[in-house]
């Protein structure tokens, strides 16, 4: 075949051949190689998944192909990437601008970092459409409407006038996908496009990418650390560790006969929904579980009719105009040594419920901790309560003061409560670092010098410093790689087994919840819809929403049929109502053994 014919075929099919890609970054100690001699071929119409933990070089590979590396800190030091007969790594910037969008489109992990918050969706999408010129305003609008319809956003004309903050996370990601497709590329690079999304929205986005690939003949490079997503999406899988390719095979081979120990480690760390059927208690990864949930006469935490509403003010006088009904009359208790998990999609009220337990937001109803009512308590009166209740937030980096050394951060709660000083304080902090698997010589470092998993361990050490009786863990493993996630979950369960600590575990990941919970409460639009033991919820779910959450969990088995789950975007009901709105009453029905299902009355 002639070279001209090969170029034409590669352009038509989206075939990309990468050879010897090497990327280096500048450090105070000299150049460090973060991608080392990577080679692969993306065949036309196929999906190649690049898998591995954070820092393995996945995203640096994608940025290299788009020539978007942060310069001069990072650079491609060797290698080629042949597309339509041209080495796109060697193209000058002017020529590369024609490749971006037209030949290769890219979806980034967090849609809000890809969208300008002060521009409407229409203006941003129009900018992507007209990037290479030659279209009238009417043609740009028509193409924008076509793209929004293509990514299955309802009411596209109305969406063009909205700003990014007015859309849900899933809707924003669909807008970013539409922008990536604006110039009809043949290759789509998706860099962790679902990591920040709820499990149901993730299922929608994955189904959408599959549909677009089939409709448009796209070749897809999907970057992820979620092996369940890999199983659902991949034709071929490339596994990276420390910048190097350790395994490259068809998806079926990777999952059935992984050759490299690191690949086997990734697969072993994946929590699988249903793997604990028939057991009655949480377990450590890889271990059996047969102990029943703790039983005590008195609950550690008792919550009754918890309600949280926020006024939306407007007008010249900033008077209340509308009201957000964030949490509506939820009731539950937590026993000593028990893990109660709250599950549901973003905006359902999970985190708001957790913050109310610590009096971080105004609320109505009744909350008692250790028999002590907390409503109306000021900061001084709450101090004894806060010794019993601590919180681990989702983003460990945002939870740690970047100006303080991590040893000082862990010591701070002990100093605030006057519990230790001098050598006693130093010994206590050293013990906490050892307890969470960190060395004492790391105490003088700053938060930015640690990985995400290590920062989360520091947050756990800080929460443990006061020896609390309850920890509220708010999406504490959502941002972690699957292997680090398994380590943190094991750590939390070890601490519970040794100290009898209780957890309110907040998550949208049903597979993780199944692994760590004694009881589970499912939330939707500020209310509980179902609550029961782990076995009742996962083996006999009664509410449609509970079944929907479990159906959306990706399964790490490429042999299973791929789902076309919820391809159409859905608008969730709004929690914003008029000031005179009266919420409908809901009451629980016990279907046996404390398994509750809420119904409208």
Q: Over 60: is that where the pLDDT of 8 sits?
A: no
Q: For residue 65, how many other CB atoms are within 10 A of its CB?
A: 24
Q: Over 50: is that where the pLDDT of 11 sits?
A: no
Q: Over 90: is that where the pLDDT of 40 sits?
A: yes
As a whole number, mean pLDDT of residues 402-428 equals 92
Q: In what order do the strands lie in the sheet containing 319-334?
A: 372-373, 364-369, 301-314, 319-334, 576-578
Q: Over 60: is that where the pLDDT of 195 sits?
A: yes
How many Å apart are CA 258 and CA 251, to the nearest integer?
Answer: 10
Q: Over 80: is that where the pLDDT of 162 sits?
A: yes
- pLDDT tens figures, 492-507: 898 899 889 999 999 8
Could you tell me the fold of the domain covering 3-269? Rossmann fold (3.40.50)
Q: Where are the alpha helices (DSSP H) in 217-280?
A: 227-233, 251-256, 261-269
475 secondary structure, DSSP code? S
Q: Over 70: is that where the pLDDT of 282 sits?
A: no
Q: What's residue 165's pLDDT?
A: 84
* 3 confidence band (pLDDT: 50, 70, 90): very low
Q: For residue 466, how many other CB atoms are within 10 A of its CB?
A: 17
First to last CA, the chain: 73
Q: What's residue 197's pLDDT?
A: 75
Q: Which of 139, 232, 121, 222 is nearest to 178 (CA)?
A: 121
Q: What's residue 204's pLDDT?
A: 81
As a whole number, mean pLDDT of residues 214-228 equals 89
| Minimum mean pLDDT range among 124-128, 191-195, 264-268 | 191-195
How many Å apart are CA 23 and CA 32, to the nearest integer?
Answer: 8
| Minimum mean pLDDT range among 12-16, 155-159, 383-387 | 12-16
Q: In what order do the strands lie in the sheet containing 502-507?
A: 389-392, 470-474, 502-507, 339-343, 519-524, 527-533, 596-600, 586-590
Instruction: Calculate the average pLDDT of the chain.
Output: 86
| Minimum mean pLDDT range among 170-184, 288-302, 528-542 | 288-302
Residue with tokens 């001084």: 380
Q: What's residue 401's pLDDT?
A: 92
Q: Over 80: is that where the pLDDT of 483 sits?
A: no
Q: What's residue 487's pLDDT?
A: 80
Cα dihedral 280/281/285/286 (nearest 10): -40
Residue with tokens 């990072």: 74
Percentage of the chain with pLDDT > 70? Answer: 91
How many Å apart are CA 543 and CA 540, to the nearest integer?
Answer: 10
* 565 confidence band (pLDDT: 50, 70, 90): very low
- pLDDT tens figures, 245-260: 999 999 999 999 999 9
| Minimum mean pLDDT range among 7-16, 363-372, 448-457 | 7-16
As a whole number, mean pLDDT of residues 171-180 equals 89
Q: Over 60: is that where the pLDDT of 284 sits?
A: no
| Residue 41 main-chain phi, psi, to 5 deg | -125, 130
How many Å apart are CA 445 and CA 462, to the nearest integer?
Answer: 15
* 285 confidence band (pLDDT: 50, 70, 90): very low
Q: Over 50: is that where the pLDDT of 161 sits?
A: yes
How many Å apart are CA 185 and CA 12, to the nearest integer?
Answer: 10
Q: What's residue 396's pLDDT?
A: 79
- pLDDT tens figures, 510-551: 888 998 999 999 999 899 999 999 999 999 999 999 998 888
Q: Which of 240, 242, 332, 250 is nearest to 518 (CA)?
A: 332
Q: What are the respective helix, strand and coil percentages of the chain, to the nearest 5?
A: 35, 25, 40
Q: What's residue 595's pLDDT?
A: 95
pTM listed for this prediction? 0.78
Q: Over 60: is that where the pLDDT of 315 sits?
A: yes
Q: What's residue 283's pLDDT?
A: 55
Q: Over 60: is that where the pLDDT of 568 sits?
A: no
Q: What's residue 563's pLDDT?
A: 57
The backbone region for 566, taken as left when phi is positive above 0, alpha when psi lies in -120 to 50, beta otherwise, is: left
Q: What's residue 281's pLDDT?
A: 57
As a whole number, mean pLDDT of residues 291-318 equals 81
Q: What's residue 289's pLDDT?
A: 40
| Minimum mean pLDDT range among 239-243, 368-372, 482-486 | 482-486
Q: What's residue 566's pLDDT?
A: 47
How many Å apart are CA 168 and CA 177, to the nearest integer?
Answer: 14
More confident residue, 336 or 457: 336
Q: What's residue 5's pLDDT?
A: 46
* 278 confidence band (pLDDT: 50, 70, 90): low
Cα→Cα distances 197→111, 145, 213, 344, 486, Å: 10, 24, 21, 12, 20
Q: What's residue 290's pLDDT?
A: 39
């Amino acid at each position: 075949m002639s070279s001209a014919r090969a170029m034409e075929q590669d352009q038509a099919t989206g075939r990309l051949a990468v050879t010897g890609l090497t990327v280096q970054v500048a450090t105070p100690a000299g150049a460090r190689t973060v991608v080392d001699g990577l080679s692969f071929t993306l065949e036309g119409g196929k999906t190649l998944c690049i898998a591995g933990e954070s820092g393995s070089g996945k995203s640096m590979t994608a940025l290299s192909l788009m020539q978007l590396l942060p310069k001069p800190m990072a650079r491609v030091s060797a290698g080629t990437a042949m597309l339509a007969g041209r080495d796109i790594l060697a193209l000058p910037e002017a020529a590369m601008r024609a490749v971006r969008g037209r030949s290769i489109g890219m979806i980034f992990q967090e849609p809000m970092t890809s969208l300008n918050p002060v521009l409407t969706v229409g203006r941003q999408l129009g900018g992507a459409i007209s990037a290479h010129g030659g279209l009238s305003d009417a043609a740009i609008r028509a193409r924008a409407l076509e793209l929004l319809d293509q990514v299955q956003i309802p009411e596209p004309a109305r969406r063009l006038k909205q700003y990014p903050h007015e859309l849900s996370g899933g809707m924003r990601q669909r807008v970013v996908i539409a922008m990536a497709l604006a110039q009809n590329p043949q290759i789509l690079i998706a860099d962790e496009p679902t990591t920040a999304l709820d499990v149901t929205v993730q299922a929608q986005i994955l189904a959408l990418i599959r549909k677009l690939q089939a409709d448009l003949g796209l070749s897809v490079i999907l970057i992820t650390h979620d092996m369940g997503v890999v199983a659902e999406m991949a034709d071929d899988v490339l596994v990276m560790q420390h910048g190097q390719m350790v395994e490259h095979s068809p998806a079926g081979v990777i999952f059935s006969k992984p050759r490299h120990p690191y690949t086997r480690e990734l697969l072993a760390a994946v929590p699988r929904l249903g793997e604990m059927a028939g057991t009655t208690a949480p377990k450590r990864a890889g271990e059996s579980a047969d102990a029943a949930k703790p039983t005590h006469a008195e609950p550690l935490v008792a919550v009754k009719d918890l309600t949280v509403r926020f006024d939306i003010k407007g007008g010249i006088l900033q008077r209340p105009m509308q009201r957000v009904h964030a949490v509506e009359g939820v009731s539950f208790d937590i026993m000593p040594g028990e893990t109660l998990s709250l599950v549901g999609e973003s905006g359902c009220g999970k985190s708001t419920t957790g913050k109310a337990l610590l009096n971080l937001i105004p609320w109505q109803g009744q909350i008692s901790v250790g028999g002590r009512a907390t409503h109306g308590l000021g900061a001084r009166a709450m101090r004894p309560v806060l010794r019993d209740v601590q919180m681990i937030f989702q983003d460990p980096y945002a939870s740690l003061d970047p100006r303080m050394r991590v040893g000082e951060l862990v010591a701070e709660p002990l100093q605030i409560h006057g519990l230790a000083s001098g050598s006693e304080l130093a010994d206590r902090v050293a013990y906490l670092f050892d307890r969470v698997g960190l060395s004492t010589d790391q105490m003088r470092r700053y938060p930015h010098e640690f990985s995400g998993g290590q920062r989360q361990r520091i947050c756990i050490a800080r929460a443990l410093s006061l020896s609390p009786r309850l920890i509220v863990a708010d999406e504490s493993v959502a941002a972690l790689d699957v292997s680090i996630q398994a380590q943190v979950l094991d750590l939390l369960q070890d601490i519970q087994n040794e100290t009898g600590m209780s957890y309110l575990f907040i998550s949208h990941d049903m597979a993780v919840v199944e692994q760590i919970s004694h009881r589970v409460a499912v939330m939707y639009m500020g209310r509980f819809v179902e609550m029961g033991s782990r076995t009742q919820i996962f083996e006999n779910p009664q509410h449609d929403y509970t079944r929907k959450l479990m159906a959306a969990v990706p399964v790490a088995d490429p042999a299973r049929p791929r789902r076309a789950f919820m391809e159409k975007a859905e608008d969730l009901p709004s929690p914003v109502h008029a000031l005179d709105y009266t919420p409908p009453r809901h009451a629980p029905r016990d279907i046996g053994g404390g398994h509750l299902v809420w119904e409208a009355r």
